Amino acid sequence: MPERSDDELGMRRPISRRDFIDGVAVAVGAVALGGLGTGAAAADTGRKAGDAYPPALQGMRGYTNDSMTVPHRLRDGTFWRDAGEPRRTGEEYDLVVVGGGISGLSAARFYQREFDRDARILILDALDDVGGHARRNEFRAHGRLLVGYGGSQSLESPSTFSREARSLIEDVGIEVKRFKKYFDSGFDARHGLGRALYFDKESWGRDHFVAYRPGTEYAEILRNAPMADRAKSDLSKIYDAPEDWMAGLTDKEKKDRLARITYREYLTEHVRAHPDAVRFLQTTPNGNWGYGADAVGALDASIEFAGFDGLGLDWDQPDRRLAPTGQKLWTSEDDYIYHFPEGNGGVARALVRKLIPDALPGRGMETITTSLLHYDRLDRKGNRVRIRLSAPAVRVRHVDHARRVEIAYVQSGDLRTVHARHVVLACNNQMIPYLTEEISAEQRAALQYAGKLSLVYTNVQVRDWTAFDRLKISSVRYPTMYWGSAGLDFPVSMGDYRFPDDPREPAILHLAKTMCKPGLPPREQGQAGRRELLATSFQDMERAIRDQLGRALGNGGFDPARDIEGITVNRWSHAYAYEYGLPWDTFWPDGELPSHVARRRWGRVAVANSDSAPRAYVDSAIDMAYRAVRDLAGKPSDSVSRGVDGVAP
């Protein structure tokens, strides 16, 4: 297939993203607004903070350059050089929460339940939308509302949730059993849709598309694939007829060996798979782990990835050396259906409704998606709970002989302070050392160990999904291209919100990209991937979107210049919490974990966020909020701590 020009791909078409300046230009706007920056994405649209409706903004979203201006200046040590003295607002609160994601919102609700239902609470967040990584994206297509998820995806395995997490979910009006009604589990079968693979000529010598139905053996799927015949044979065995490639070892010896190597090493050293087969499998773990087969431990890989069934491992009990994700996967038998149209943005909206009912009118779970969130009501003076967006915290310290805590933050270029009886830091834990000088060197080092892995979730509005219907697929996996996958969103209809069941209707496509650098340890992959992500322009991402969709779907009649009507890129340079696992974290699972040191309360300040679990799931975020509030109350939370990381604190 000849390479398409920008015009053929539609790069210059006036789609709705053209109202939004990309991340590079945003940085210029931030400087123009003042030395402190705004901590908001308002400069992206040329409107004042609060005027824009965040879910409908398109272009580069998530961590925009503007929203990260203040945090990055804190990190670089330049913020206080010319910041001046903060202005005292005179505002006093029972609790200030730094971080407006699910953990921060949950901490506010747990505080009401633990201390006082009428407690005065302020939630500060650096982003311009509530929910943190639980991000909602909206599109208007020919008068119709389309909702997609731009971050935290689903309630993963609710049967494994702690008692406290289940209680909070129920408290905010979410009835988990109802997802069986909302999620159209028969959608693919009703439309006759399967899956597809796309091999790109740049990596494999020629472009090749293959669609297949669930249950199709890999010998058939790969029959005409552009790879060595031995690689096809190896993949066929790995997927459909795995052998005991560790024959002669006992069950214990096999697990001991798997705990010392990566999935890639297992494939190369024990399976002795052809390099083409290893390359094909390299990116299969990216979505769950944030990195590939070269960094995922083989013991964890044996729970969910291909090539291990022939080993005959005894899994009557989970091996204690499994990482938290491996333990969760071993325990769970849940179907993957617990998903709002906006992903866990639905959980965030339910929490906002509980904390500030006037901000999200309506009753019942079915109105969470369709009710309008009134952003102008989040920070009203008369609210018992206030949510202040585009307001990054810059300093947290005890004052008045430790009877209160002073919190300094920036909003609209203005440096201000508020005071509180208690503080929960539910933000990126790696930022905490830059917010306070009150912690020990040991805790500072432990907090900085809490790495983050980068992720990009993109929603593309298309005029219809007839190309998928003609090709009889719902998604495409690209083993070696920029975007790892693309496909129709989850088929969820709730209340008045209806998923586009007819292929002629406008729809949202979801694309995912994990920013990792094979060949490095997982935490270093996160750092290298973050640098690459922040240096990548929206224009480059858009071109890759148009190119990959056009190449894979072209035979179904898809024309990227004609059919793409909107693009929202959610850039999360600090996304998945880095969880401990072998063979990299040799302290796991014995001994005191860095997260236990990192989340120690000091004075009137406690630490939350899934980083402090560490495990990148919505129940972890809730559990850590519960533990933080219990820490402030001087009460134990052993059941939650054990449920999260498998080791008593």
3-state SS, one letter per residue, for 543-557: HHHHHHHHHHHHHHC
How many other CB atoms sit within 10 Å of the CB of residue 117? 10
Q: Are 141 and 426 in contact (CB under 8 A)?
A: no
Could you tell me how many residues make up the chain?
Answer: 649
Mean pLDDT of 236-259: 98
Instruction: Answer positive or negative: Cα dihedral of 325, 569, 200, 503.
Output: positive
Q: How far is CA 99 from CA 129, 177, 382, 641, in A?
A: 11, 29, 21, 21
Whether the Cβ atoms of residue 91 and residue 122 lie closer than 8 Å to each other? yes
Residue 327: exposed, middle, or buried by beta-carbon count in 10 A (0-12, 13-18, 19+)?
A: buried
Confidence (pLDDT) at 463: 96
Mean pLDDT value of segment 370-383? 97
Which amino acid type is present at position 375?
A: Y
**Could you tell me how far CA 145 lies from the centroid of its own chain?**
23
Amino acid at 390: S
Q: How far is CA 380 from CA 121, 358, 389, in A?
A: 12, 10, 12
The DSSP call for residue 268 is I
Strand 208-212 with 194-199, pairing: antiparallel
Helix (H, G, I), strand (E, B) or coil at 461: strand
- Six token digits for residue 101: 């994601």
> What number is the average pLDDT over the span 119-130?
98
Residue 312 Cα to chain centre, angstroms: 34
pLDDT at 42 over 50: no
pLDDT mean over 500-526: 95
Task: Output the six-digit token pair for 367.
Answer: 């109105």
Q: Which residue ranges form the domains of the chain, and what is each CATH number?
A: 77-133+341-450+590-645 (3.50.50.60), 217-331 (1.10.405)
Query: Above 50 in pLDDT, residue 40?
Result: no
Whether the per-residue pLDDT at 385 is higher than 50: the answer is yes
Residues whose CB falls within 8 Å of the CB of residue 467, separated by 6 or more in sequence, listed in order: 553, 556, 557, 558, 563
Secondary structure letter of residue 602 according to DSSP: B
Q: How far apart, in Å, are the Cα atoms of 224 and each of 74, 117, 461, 490, 523?
A: 54, 64, 32, 30, 37
Tokens of 199: 């091999």
Q: Which pLDDT score is estimated for 23? A: 31
Q: Are strands 485-488 and 473-477 parallel, antiparallel or unpaired?
A: antiparallel
Cα distance between residue 241 and residue 148, in whole Å:
38
Task: Report the candidate in 27, 17, 139, 2 with the shortest Cα–Cα distance to residue 545.
Answer: 17
Q: Is the predicted pLDDT of residue 144 greater than 70, yes or no?
A: yes
**Mean pLDDT on 354-381:** 97
Q: Confidence band (pLDDT; 50, 70, 90) for 91?
A: very high
Q: Which helix (H) or strand (E) holds 277?
A: helix 275-282
Residue 439 has φ and ψ, to the nearest 5°, of -100, 160
Q: At residue 512, what are phi and psi to the nearest 5 degrees?
A: -130, 145
Does residue 168 surpass a pLDDT of 80?
yes
Closest CA to 394 of 130, 629, 34, 87: 87
Taking residues 97-117, report their average pLDDT: 98
Closest CA to 503 of 433, 457, 540, 557: 557
Q: Is-contact 368 352, C-beta < 8 A? A: no
Cβ density class 24-49: b for 16+ within 10 Å, e for less: ebbbebbeebeebbbbbbbbbbeeeb
Q: Look at residue 48 in the predicted model and tell me its pLDDT.
A: 44
What is the pLDDT, as a whole number, of residue 333? Answer: 84
pLDDT of residue 14: 63
Q: Degrees (nearest 5) of the Cα angle 384, 388, 390?
A: 175
Looking at residue 93, its pLDDT comes to 98
3-state SS assignment for residue 326: helix
**Mean pLDDT (the chain, rounded):** 92
pLDDT of the residue at 38: 35
Contact 456, 529 (CB under 8 A): no
Looking at residue 35, its pLDDT comes to 37
Residue matched to tokens 């009604």: 181
pLDDT of residue 51: 57
- pLDDT band of 142, cuts 50, 70, 90: confident
Pairing outcome for strands 507-515 and 452-462: antiparallel
Distance of CA 500 to the CA centre of its chain: 25
- What does the pLDDT read at residue 66? 86
CA torsion 166→167→168→172, rounded to 10°? 100
Mean pLDDT of 582-599: 94
CB 149 within 8 A of CB 334: no
The whole-angstrom separation of Cα 258 and Cα 290 is 20
* Mean pLDDT, rounded, for 256-276: 98
Task: Using a cut of 0.75, tell me whether the model's pTM lies above it.
Answer: yes
- Confidence band, pLDDT 50/70/90 cuts, at residue 297: very high
Q: Are 550 and 612 in contact (CB under 8 A)?
A: no
| Adjacency order of strands within the sheet including 507-515 | 59-62, 564-577, 452-462, 507-515, 485-488, 473-477, 194-199, 208-212
Q: Compute the average pLDDT of residues 476-500.
A: 97
610 and 148 in contact (C-beta within 8 Å)?
no
Confidence of residue 332 (pLDDT cuts 50, 70, 90): confident
Residue 20 has pLDDT above 60, yes or no: no
Q: Write down the pLDDT at residue 183.
A: 98
**218 Cβ partners below 8 Å, 6+ apart?**
232, 235, 236, 238, 239, 240
Residue 644 has pLDDT above 70, yes or no: no
CA-based nearest residue to 620, from 323, 296, 394, 259:
323
Confidence band, pLDDT 50/70/90 cuts, at residue 586: very high
* Sign of the four-CA dihedral 297, 299, 300, 304: positive
Is the model's pLDDT at 47 over the cut of 50? no
pLDDT at residue 136 is higher than 50:
yes
Q: Can you say how many angstroms the Cα of residue 291 is from the centroid of all Cα atoms in its chain? A: 13
Structure tokens at 242: 């795995």
Strands 564-577 and 452-462 turn out to be antiparallel
Per DSSP, what are the bridge partners of residue 461? 508, 566
Q: Give the residue among 318, 427, 526 at the shortest CA–CA distance from 39.
A: 427
| pLDDT for residue 188 | 98
Find the range with the poorest average confidence among 105-109, 287-291, 624-628. 287-291
Give the model's pLDDT for residue 640. Answer: 64
243, pLDDT greater than 50: yes
